[in-house]
């Protein structure tokens, strides 16, 4: 995915997340889902509550099931390909 997600899709993904980080990657220092609390107004921020909407599959379509909401800490730990 080379284009950012449309704002409405990001809102749907954020609502699905329950305002909590959805990351379940091993090696990020959390057992299971991260669940760090997020604030909608802090999208892209590098502070507590900051978060990013990123593609689960970097080659996948711009659909809500391919949009993962993750805290900034987990986002920065992800490899460049997003996997």
Give the integer Cα–Cα distance in Å for 40 and 74. 16
User: Cα 73–8–36 angle (5° rounding)?
Assistant: 25
Note the pTM of the prediction, 2 decimals.
0.88
Q: Is 7's pLDDT higher than 80?
A: yes
Predicted confidence (pLDDT) per residue in 55-77, tens digit: 999 899 999 999 999 999 999 99
Q: How many CB atoms lie within 10 A of CB 51?
A: 28
For residue 70, the 8-state DSSP code is E
Q: Which two tokens stand for residue 70?
A: 């993750």
Q: How far is CA 36 from the centre of its chain?
A: 11
């Amino acid at each position: 995915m080379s284009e950012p997600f449309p704002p409405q899709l990001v809102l749907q993904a954020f609502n699905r997340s329950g305002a909590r980080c959805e990351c379940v990657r091993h090696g990020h220092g959390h057992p299971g889902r991260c669940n760090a609390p997020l604030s909608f107004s802090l999208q892209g921020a590098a502070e507590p509550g900051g978060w990013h909407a990123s593609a689960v599959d970097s080659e996948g379509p711009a659909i809500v099931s391919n949009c993962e909401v993750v805290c900034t800490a987990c986002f920065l730990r992800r490899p460049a390909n997003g996997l």
